[in-house]
């Protein structure tokens, strides 16, 4: 059942699925549909996305809908032209002209941005970010990226690449990163990076309580942190380097950007004790004035199942407000 109030169609494109939903102005998802995405070729990638959108628009009883559709997608987006430029995960792909293709076909305005910028707008309109004019949203999952809100506006930068903190240099000659460098935060503190380290360092810690999970390929970052709490030396080493590298980057962001809050999300940060450790590190090491102005480092209240759809819809609202 659709409510009488107007709603917005949001499209959340991830590496494994396309999620399309209808979102009210209060941020309630009234309908959603999940579609598979096919990354096996560029042609199939495009057709799986466009077929999903056609199915949602044709088959759902879409009425009372706002004039802009928002699309959040992983990788790099040309925000100005509404084009998906590609992703490090899909090397060599041609850009996808979402605005040109979809506007001509359906008549909607199209707003496109990367998924973390979209999630940051969800914080700004619907989450803890509503309280602040200056905050950071930091997502720590398979990769790491941030959204910067300064004086009430999302900072996009010259090429809409602002906030890609996963590739900040945190050490010399660590593991190779997808971006081509081997000094990146992401290799020490993302879920993927920590699992890679667990595999690489296991031979030095054959008695680790994580050994069987690592060998069977089922270990996840939450296992590593919980094993660290139990005193496992391999997990302890990965955990220490997580706090150190993530902490340094957050301290530097606080000193550069002077936010009132850091709101964190993503699959890696699920334990309050870990948030407390990060908080302690940042408040201890940031310069005094920005540290005093920082009110909290906190976990998002927006659920991982809906944040992509909410972000895509907020992107549409933000685009309408700007135009």
Which residues of this chain interact with Zn ion, rule CB under 5 A? 167, 177, 179, 181, 184
Burial of 226 (C-beta count, 10 Å sphere; 0-12/13-18/19+): middle
Comparing CB distances to Zn ion, the nearer of 177 and 314 is 177
Tokens of 262: 């850091």
CB of 192 to Zn ion, least distance (A): 12
Q: Which helix (H) or strand (E) holds 78?
A: strand 76-78
Comparing CB distances to Zn ion, the nearer of 42 and 175 is 175
Tokens of 76: 């790099």
Comparing CB distances to Zn ion, the nearer of 168 and 222 is 168
CB of 178 to Zn ion, least distance (A): 6
Comparing CB distances to Zn ion, the nearer of 185 and 269 is 185
The Cβ-side half-sphere exposure at 128, using a 13 Å CA radius, reads 19
CA-based nearest residue to 151, from 174, 135, 134: 134
List Cα–Cα distances, 232 to 209, 227, 239, 272, in angstroms.
Answer: 7, 6, 10, 20
CB of 311 to Zn ion, least distance (A): 23
Comparing CB distances to Zn ion, the nearer of 88 and 222 is 88
Q: How far apart are CA 18 and CA 6, in angstroms?
A: 23
Comparing CB distances to Zn ion, the nearer of 184 and 228 is 184
Tokens of 283: 């408040």
CB of 184 to Zn ion, least distance (A): 3
CB of 45 to Zn ion, least distance (A): 23
| DSSP per-residue string spanning 238-289 | HHHHHHHHHHHHHHHHHHHH--SEEEEESTT---HHHHHHHHHHHHHHS-HH
Rg (CA), the chain: 20
Contacting residues for 57 by C-beta, under 8 A, at least 6 apart: 9, 106
CB of 162 to Zn ion, least distance (A): 16
Find residue 226's DSSP bridge partners.
Answer: none
CB of 240 to Zn ion, least distance (A): 21
Comparing CB distances to Zn ion, the nearer of 102 and 144 is 144
């Amino acid at each position: 059942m659709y409510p009488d109030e107007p709603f917005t169609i949001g499209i959340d494109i991830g590496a494994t699925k396309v999620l399309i939903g209808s979102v009210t102005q209060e941020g309630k998802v009234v309908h959603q549909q999940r579609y598979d995405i096919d990354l096996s070729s560029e042609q199939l990638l495009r057709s799986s996305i466009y077929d999903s959108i056609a199915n949602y628009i044709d088959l759902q009883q879409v009425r009372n809908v706002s004039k802009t559709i928002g699309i959040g997608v992983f990788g790099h987006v040309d925000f100005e032209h509404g084009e998906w430029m590609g992703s490090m995960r899909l090397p060599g792909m041609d850009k996808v002209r979402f605005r040109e293709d979809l506007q001509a076909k359906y008549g909607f305005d199209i707003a496109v941005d990367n998924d973390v910028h979209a999630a940051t707008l969800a914080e700004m309109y619907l989450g803890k970010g509503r309280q602040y004019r200056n905050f950071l949203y930091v997502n720590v999952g398979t990769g790491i990226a941030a959204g910067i809100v300064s004086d009430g506006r999302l900072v996009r930068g010259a090429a809409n690449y602002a906030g890609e903190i996963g590739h900040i240099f945190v050490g010399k000659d660590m593991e190779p990163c997808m971006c081509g460098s081997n000094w990146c935060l992401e290799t020490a503190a993302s879920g993927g990076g920590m699992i890679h380290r667990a595999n690489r360092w296991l031979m030095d810690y054959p008695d680790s309580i994580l050994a069987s999970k690592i060998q069977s390929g089922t270990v996840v970052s939450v296992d590593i942190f919980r094993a660290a709490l139990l005193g496992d030396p391999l997990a302890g080493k990965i955990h220490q380097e997580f706090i150190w590298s993530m902490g340094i980057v957050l301290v530097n962001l606080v000193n550069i950007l002077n936010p009132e809050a850091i709101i964190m999300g993503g699959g890696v940060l699920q334990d309050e004790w870990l948030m407390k450790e990060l908080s302690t590190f940042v408040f201890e090491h940031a310069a005094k004035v920005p540290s005093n102005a920082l009110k909290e480092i906190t976990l998002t209240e927006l659920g991982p199942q809906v944040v992509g759809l909410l972000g895509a819809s907020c992107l549409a609202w933000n685009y309408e407000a700007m135009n």
